[in-house]
Chains A and B, each alone.
Chain A
Amino acid sequence: MKRFIVPLLVIVAAYALLPRLFTADSTNSILLWLPLVLTVALGEFLVVVAGGIDISVGSIMGFSSMTVGIVFKANPSMPLPLAILVAVVCGLILGLINGALVARAKLPPLIVTIGTLATFRGLAFLIAKGETITGSYVPDSFTKLSNHGIPLGEVTLNWLAITSILCTAAFLWFTTNTALGRSIFAFGGQPEGALRRGIAATRIQTTVYALSGAMAGLGGAMYLSRFGQAQPGSAGSGFELTVIATVAIAGTKLTGGAGSIGKLVVAAIGVSALNVALSIQGISDDWQTLVYGSVLLVMVCADSFRRRSEVVV
């Protein structure tokens, strides 16, 4: 329980900031944010555990939401699972590009994803020809995924939230029950040691960036479903900060090697609650960047401080 204290603290802080969060309406708003944050954070979590970083997730979300929008525009009666598949595949392909540059060409992850952050955003513009996907292109059945689902009293557990919970379960299974999933932790903790034990760096890095891309792609579809429209310039823009902050709040070792998906879920709930609390409280968008930046800074410093004596310089 003690280990959950930081992510729980964020939830407490959000509810202290706004007691009204206890109402069913606010809980529903939190459930609108949670799937987005949790889904994309799962992918980022694996990348961070493997000792990397992916700051291109926001742009991947933008690209995949534009792609899904365009597919719907061309064929409004397309089955929803197919649309979601399109989003995931889009993300997967972009993630594989990141993975190839990091794993095969051995480039520093930060530089690669700064470059692809810009490149993928441009691709989003290119594919949409700079136009906005307006609400009229997105079928009602698709937007209903974000506000219909399993009713639990006054609270509705929407389909997107259910999807993100299923993803969490899949990630939990992947990281605990498969050799590849477990070796991600080993590799992130000590790359050299892992290599000597016969763990293939290329395979792990490619996998984590591809998965991060796929989850960001799914997140893009969720974005389109939740907001009902998407602009090539702003869809998912800046979301990488929210996601990295979530991973940091979850107490994930930021230099790789350790972290828990349980804590990630709690952190994602905390961040979603904070998001809702900040916006209901009338604390404008203007302050949110500052809040997230400060929270991230505190987490990075705390994470490093604990291991300060292990690092020589």
Chain B
Amino acid sequence: MRRNILPGLLIVLVAVIGNRLSPNFLDFAYLRDSATLVAELGLIAVGMNFIITSGNIDLSVGSNMVLTACITAKFMVGGMPAPLALLLGVGIGTLLGWLNGVLITYFRAPSFLITVATMAMYRGAAKALLGPQSVKAPSGIVGIDTQTFAGLTIPLLILLVTASIGAFVMQKTIFGSWVVAVGSNSRTALYSGVPVARVVRTSYTLTGFICGIAAMLMLSRLGLARHDLAMGSELDIITIVVVGGTAIQGGAANVIGSLLAFILIALLRSVMGVANFTAEYQMTIIGILLIGMVLANRLPLKLILQKLRPKSQRAP
């Protein structure tokens, strides 16, 4: 619970700043709609939680989402019926994530190197496929982000459901415990009978599956696919996971914290939008937030708290 305090405080701070900048900032419908714009990032962050907790990282998620959206849009333009194409899209995303997992576990290679390479490959494949043009999605699938249910937009509902399932899997299932075990000490986990390679592979496949869903949501929200969408989104996603309290070196997860962190990023993005920050400055602020949070998690909090207490109450 204590891990959620900092993101909570930051949310309040950003909300206050937003309210200062624009009197209508704290309007529910406005906040809901601006959060919907980044719902895909929050969604992928749920999968990224598993990867980071297992002691790995995935830099290719944004590229995966874009390539998946581009291929699916191409198929739809080619006349494939929409429901089939959507299923295919989720399949492609899953496949690309699985490929990462297989490469990492088969070659026993550092995950950041493999995913730096696949980040370039997936994005490059999307570029090679479409060139500078964009592909329009058929009107039938456009606009899922404007439909609401129980006061929330569909992408936000999907995020909420996915995060709940993610938290459940992480905390209450064997697989979740395995992920944490692999992240805290993979050798010990292996010797205790945890199928380490399978756990890592499954985490990547799971994230790929979520990337596929996110790609379909993005396609529906924007109504088109282009190779340069979601540039640098891995920064946002990793920041959401880290701000949410998941340990960057693995072994400790907090999926619900990521949901809080998602709210923070969504608020921050819309405040920066209101303040007319350009995309590059927004990226800078997120980058500073990432480093600041990793740094804050490194602080010896217990020691500081103990120093703050009166001498008589200090532990011996």
Contact = CB atoms under 8 A, between A and B. Distances in A.
Interface in B79-130: 103, 107-110, 112-114, 116-125, 127-128
Contact of A297 (B121, B197, B294): B121
A305 interface: yes
A287 B234 CA distance: 22
Contact of A130 (B110, B232, B278, B294): B278
Contacts of B291: 101, 107, 111-112, 115-116, 119
Q: Is the interface of B mostly helix, strand, loop or mixed?
A: helix
A105 B298 contact: yes
B103 A297 contact: yes
Given A125-B281, A313-B196, A300 B117 contact: yes
Interface string A267-305: 000000000000000001111111111101100110111
B3 interface: no
B120 A292 contact: yes
A119 B232 CA distance: 12
Contacts of B121: 289-290, 293-294, 297
A80 interface: no
Given A101-B291, A311-B108, A286 B127 contact: yes
A6 interface: no
B280 A116 contact: no
Contacts of A105: 295, 298
Interface string B206-239: 0000000000000000000001000010110010
Interface in A100-142: 101, 105-108, 110-112, 114-119, 121-123, 125-126, 130
Given A110-B57, A114-B235, A286-B128, A121 B117 contact: no
Contacts of A123: 284
B110 A254 contact: yes
B57 A290 contact: no
Contacts of B120: 241, 289-290, 292-293, 296
Contact of A300 (B114, B132, B190, B287): B114
Interface centre among A110, A233, A294 (most CB of B within 10 A): A110
B119 A293 contact: yes
Interface string B263-297: 00000000000000010110111111011001100
B38 to A, nearest CB: 16
A156 interface: no
Nearest to B111: A110
B73 interface: no
A290 B281 contact: no
The 7 closest A-B pairs by CB, nearest first: A122-B284, A290-B124, A293-B120, A118-B287, A289-B124, A293-B121, A304-B109
Given A122-B284, A300-B117, 13 more contacts: A108-B294, A111-B248, A115-B291, A122-B283, A125-B284, A286-B128, A287-B124, A289-B121, A289-B123, A294-B121, A300-B109, A300-B110, A300-B114
Interface of B: 57, 59, 103, 107-110, 112-114, 116-125, 127-128, 131-132, 182, 186-187, 189-190, 196-197, 227, 232, 234-235, 238, 242, 248-249, 278, 280-281, 283-288, 290-291, 294-295, 298
